[in-house]
Amino acid sequence: MRKQFFSHCPGAFLAFNEQLHTFPEGKVSQEDAPIRRLKWGTASLIVRSPVTPIVLPIVHHGFEEVMPENFWFGRRPPFPLCNKSINIVIGEPMEFNLPKMTQMAISTSHNLHNPTRGWPILSPSGLDEAAQRCLYTSISDQIQTSMESLRSSSKKLSEAKSLNSGQVEE
């Protein structure tokens, strides 16, 4: 079973004590705006891992100043800009009770009448397409909520720092 899965999704499993960093929004540098709907790749990796991983949500504020999208003739600078402030906020570790979440996804999916979109009839975890979508959405929503809370905290921290530094300069 494991060898068969690797042929469809190489690199999906990590060895013991390895780390995987994902950007579920699809971008490393973000503008200062609410976090977009997360893509399901991270949720899929969580569900398919042989040991349920612990997710450590991390957000950053300031990369848009280090590598601005429209710096020079509508392009990024060739190198990161210096003397810019970056805040990195690390949230509380998140653990997922996948058996419970899977059962909830199965029961929720029975009430949905969505057309199929070509997903495998049964996933490696034994879920049909509707249940997979419910499970991935549930996981992604929890991560997104945590990240949005961190983003708001980071923004408030940045505003407080700039306010304090403005008071000192006066």
The tens digit of pLDDT for each residue in 130-169 reads 888 899 999 999 999 998 998 888 778 777 877 777 654 4
- Give the C-alpha separation, 14 to 1, whole Å: 16
For residue range 50-101, list pLDDT tens digits in order: 888 889 888 887 788 888 888 888 888 889 899 988 888 889 999 999 999 9
Task: Check residue 58 and report its DSSP letter.
Answer: E
Say which residues have a Cβ less than 8 Å from residue 119's Cβ, sequence separation at least 6.
Answer: 129, 132, 133
Say which residues have a Cβ less than 8 Å from residue 100's Cβ, sequence separation at least 6.
Answer: none
Q: How far is CA 130 from CA 42, 95, 106, 110, in A?
A: 18, 23, 8, 8
What's residue 3's pLDDT? Answer: 38
Check residue 62 and give left, alpha or beta (phi > 0: left; psi -120 to 50: alpha). left
Q: Residue 61, SS3?
A: strand
Say which residues have a Cβ less than 8 Å from residue 91's Cβ, sequence separation at least 6.
Answer: 56, 57, 58, 59, 146, 147, 149, 150
* Residues 60-97 as b or e (16 or more Cβ within 10 Å = b): bbebbbbebeeeeeeeeeeeeeeeeeeeebebeebebe
Segments making up each domain of the chain, as ranges: 2-161
What's residue 98's pLDDT? Answer: 93
Q: Which residue has the higher pLDDT, 84 or 30?
A: 84
